[in-house]
Chain A
Amino acid sequence: MAIAFQMATAGNITGKVTLVGNPPPEKEITPLKDDAQCGKLHPGPTPKTQFFVVGPNKELSDVVVVLQGDSLKGKSTGATAGPAELDQIGCIYTPQILAVQTGQKIVVKNSDPVMHNVHTTPTAAGNKEENRAQLAGGPDLTFVIPNAEEFLRFKCDVHPWMFAWVTVVDHPYFAVTGTDGSFTIKDVPPGKYKLVAYHRKAALKGIAKDIEVTADGAKMDFAVEVK
């Protein structure tokens, strides 16, 4: 009943992230094109890095927006949440930016006709480094990260240009901006918090803003600056 009451009074946080300034041009992933097996999977132009995925009106996607507050700590529902998914398509991780809860399953697929290895390189204490091979057409690999960490790197050592960055949060109140730069964090209990926007390149340590959430929710926009 307490949970039902909390849900009834909870609000959504919505907002948009835009980029200010001009980002450096993305680079062609030439080692991918040069690779005998992976190169065949991209008959067209050479794929490029995806550090800054920016819309026509400077909307910035792949920004991880995380709510922070003492009352949220340890409220992870990751153990019962559905699995998050990472796929390897054309020797590129898809998506490259992901956010999950602590204890939530991360299922890594290999849709390529090529062998990969999935190597996690955490930096937070208690998160264990793993390095597992995944054959072409092999079974999915499942990873579970026990502790919170920003931008935990998943990499493939066989194809050293392949990276995904997974932010692990110890509660369910976070979102990743879409291609229109918008985000929605649902069912946030009313209260005062900090809302932090992380971008892997332009805001690695996060841009923090105070926010008060009511039953009607709250709205907060971010501007990420690149000089």
Chain B
Amino acid sequence: MISFATAYKPWLHRFAVLTALATLGLVGMGGLVTSHGVGMAVPDWPTSYGYNMFALPISTWLTGGIFHEHTHRLWASLVGILVVAQTRWLGGKKSQLPLLLIGLAEILLGLVLLRLGDDWKGAGHFLSGIGGVVLLAGLVWTKNHAAPGRLPTLIWIAFGLVQLQGLLGGLRVVLDAGVFAGVRLGTILGIFHGCLGQLFLALMAIIALMTSRWWRDPSARPTSFRARPWFVAATVLIFVQLLIGATMRHQHAGLSIPDFPLAYGKIWPDMSSVAVAEYNLQRLEVTAVNPITAFQIELQLAHRIIALLILGAVGRCVWLARDRAVKRLAQCWLGLILAQVALGAWTIWSNKAADVATGHVLVGALSLVTGGFGCFIYYRRFACDEAPGSMARSPSTPHRSVTT
């Protein structure tokens, strides 16, 4: 007998792909906000210029940087709703009670925060709003089964992450002026928000992969594991690279090294205080007015060196991968990394043009996603999405979809 829970569900997969694509768009929109330096174009949250987020007049929405920031917020709300819906779908009927309880708890906590005073108003509105969406998802009375293996766990992690990410994005605005350890809170929270967004995208893409028909095809499983450590190493390096990139971008100091492939005309630039003062004197930025520091020059040099290491590690993956699917994935990965190197160079040559820099962010995100795919394919036993005796374990079992 075919387990209802383990059957391939095309509409669930399509919905998961839609959510992952919406998340990719959200990362791109967030990238545009940072590239244009308009993270504070809407200075309040979760309201926008005092309006309910969904009721901001269009004329205000279309003004300068407000367009990017406000669109990012609306898009994030859409992704939040998609993830909550997917939690209910993948979590099955078992998810109903937790969703109801979490939704009620968030609404109540939000109402309590609203009574605590103006400082807590934003978080209060946010919690009660998202609590309402969660409660609605919990009220969906369909008797569907939970998805197999780790998928419900992963979607519950995504459920938590999307709310944390929304809160971080809001706090990045309302706590912008605060200072922690000599650094603006807006900068610190912006870096966290950017990096968590990339991890969240990778998670949503992996969930989409695990709901696919291909994931259930036994012939897609790797038989050779020689490339596995290189996949892991390259993926970790890419995440470190994204961390460095986010740190550079959120300091809004523009290009700390304005030339490529050399750095201030040398292979290794002078980073003495006299030299840095001279660099600052010569650089005239249009929007990024913060002066650069020796640390920022070191960061960009590290970014360049790690780019070479990633290129080598991904090249090694292509070389060592034997299974057809993994080999093809590694080849695509290498193509993405090469495109990413070209975009990195173009970002410098274009003096950090916003669209080019955002393209660099997006291809970086896709590189992380591809690395995440490879790691999950190699460690699918850890992902453990096959229950003993389920259809996916038997190569002879035909794929079937079962309607609800």
Complex CA distance for A29 and B278, rounded to whole angstroms: 23
- Residues of B near A26 (CB, < 8 A) are 284
Candidates A38, A51, A158, A201; contact of B41 at CB < 8 Å = A158
Q: Which of B252-290 contact A (CB under 8 A)?
A: 278, 281-287, 289
Give chain A nearest CB distance to B160 CB in angstroms.
Answer: 30
Q: Which of A1-45 contact B (CB under 8 A)?
A: 24-31, 35-38
Stretch in B60-68, B79-87, B92-100, B299-307 touching the partner: B60-68
CB <8 Å contact, A226 and B281: yes
CB <8 Å contact, A159 and B278: no
CB <8 Å contact, B281 and A119: no
- Asked if B341 is at the interface of the complex by the 8 Å CB criterion, the answer is no
CB <8 Å contact, B66 and A158: yes
- Asked if A227 is at the interface of the complex by the 8 Å CB criterion, the answer is yes
Complex CA distance for A28 and B37, rounded to whole angstroms: 17
CB <8 Å contact, B286 and A157: no
Give chain A nearest CB distance to B285 CB in angstroms.
Answer: 8
CB <8 Å contact, A160 and B36: yes
- Residues of A near B49 (CB, < 8 A) are 133
Give the nearest-CB partner of A132 in chain B. Answer: B43
Q: Which of A193-218 contact B (CB under 8 A)?
A: 201-202, 204
- Residues of A near B37 (CB, < 8 A) are 160
Q: Which of B42-81 contact A (CB under 8 A)?
A: 43, 49, 60, 62-66
Complex CA distance for A103 and B371, rounded to whole angstroms: 57
- Residues of A near B283 (CB, < 8 A) are 24
Complex CA distance for A9 and B18, rounded to whole angstroms: 79
- Residues of B near A202 (CB, < 8 A) are 281
Contact A227/B278 with A37-B63, A114-B63, A158-B63 known, Cβ cut-off 8 Å: yes
- Asked if B104 is at the interface of the complex by the 8 Å CB criterion, the answer is no
CB <8 Å contact, B41 and A117: yes
Complex CA distance for A119 and B365, rounded to whole angstroms: 32
- Residues of A near B63 (CB, < 8 A) are 37, 114-115, 158
Contact A158/B64 with A27-B286, A117-B41 known, Cβ cut-off 8 Å: yes
- Residues of B near A153 (CB, < 8 A) are 289
Candidates B39, B62, B284; contact of A24 at CB < 8 Å = B284
Complex CA distance for A202 and B278, rounded to whole angstroms: 9
Give chain B nearest CB distance to A127 CB in angstroms.
Answer: 11
- Residues of B whose CB lies within 8 Å of any CB of A are 36-41, 43, 49, 60, 62-66, 177, 278, 281-287, 289, 291, 354
- Residues of A whose CB lies within 8 Å of any CB of B are 24-31, 35-38, 49, 51, 114-115, 117, 119, 121, 129, 131, 133, 153, 157-161, 163, 201-202, 204, 226-227
User: Beyond A115-B66, A161-B287: 8 further Cβ-contacts under 8 Å?
Assistant: A37-B63, A49-B286, A114-B64, A133-B43, A157-B38, A160-B37, A160-B38, A201-B284
Selected A-B contacts with CB under 8 Å, 5 pairs: A129-B177, A158-B64, A160-B36, A160-B65, A202-B281
The 5 A-B residue pairs with the shortest CB-CB distance, nearest first, are A158-B64, A157-B40, A160-B37, A129-B177, A131-B43
